[in-house]
Amino acid sequence: MNYENYIETFDDLVKSFPELFEKLTGSDRLNFSTLTKSTIERVFNKKDPIHGIYLISNKSDNPLYVGRSRNMAVRIGVDHRAIQKAQANLTYKIAKEKNITPVEARSFMYENFFVRMIEIDNEYARTLFEVYVAMKLQTPYNSFRES
């Protein structure tokens, strides 16, 4: 469903979530280590910012983290590959949990994590769908705690 220039009601958005969930969980499972900015642009066949939702899972396909972005190629292909805390929140959570350095955590992610992605243009749909997926899958690395 293309949401780009269409404002729906909350109820209409939520009704579409089961279908979007199936699309996300059924999308190609890509190795995290190979997902550079240019690789993600090739997956979606576009250079423009790709708005969407992504799901990170482990080798056993257990869901770990769901995220949203106005530019998935940068968020996944650059930020999640970084080791600076401001960019690499998930990397720091893993480093802390495993008592390893951020560099070691990033290597762990490269070896063990996979990503599924779908495009969702509407920012309201992305925001609500991120919470929906995180709650439905009980992703352990998501936190919606306010600072």
38 domain residue, yes or no: yes
In a domain, 5, yes or no: no
> Which tops the pLDDT comparison, 76 or 42?
42
Give a yes or no: residue 1 inside a domain: no
pLDDT at 3 over 90: no
127: left (phi over 0), alpha (psi -120 to 50) or beta: alpha
C-beta separation of 131 from 145 below 8 A: no
CATH number where 17 lies: 3.40.1440
What average pLDDT does this structure show over 72-83? Answer: 75
Mean pLDDT across 88-115: 91
Place of tokens 């690499």: 88
Edge-to-edge order in the sheet of strand 63-69? 30-31, 114-119, 52-57, 63-69
Q: What is the pLDDT of residues 33-58, one digit of tens each?
A: 998 889 999 999 999 999 999 999 99
65 assigned to some structural domain: yes
In a domain, 96, yes or no: no
User: Has residue 4 got a pLDDT over 60?
Assistant: no
- Domain membership of residue 49 as a residue range: 10-79+115-137
Indicate the average pLDDT of the chain: 89
Q: Looking at residues 3-20, what average pLDDT do you find? A: 82
pLDDT band at 8 (very low <50, low <70, confident <90, very high): confident
At 79 the pLDDT is 63
pLDDT of residue 86: 63
104 found inside a domain: no
Residue 143 lies in a domain: no
Query: Could you give the number of structural domains in the chain?
Result: 1
Radius of gyration, alpha carbons of the chain: 15
Q: What is the mean pLDDT of residues 92-117?
A: 93
Q: Is residue 17 part of a domain?
A: yes
pLDDT at 83 over 90: no
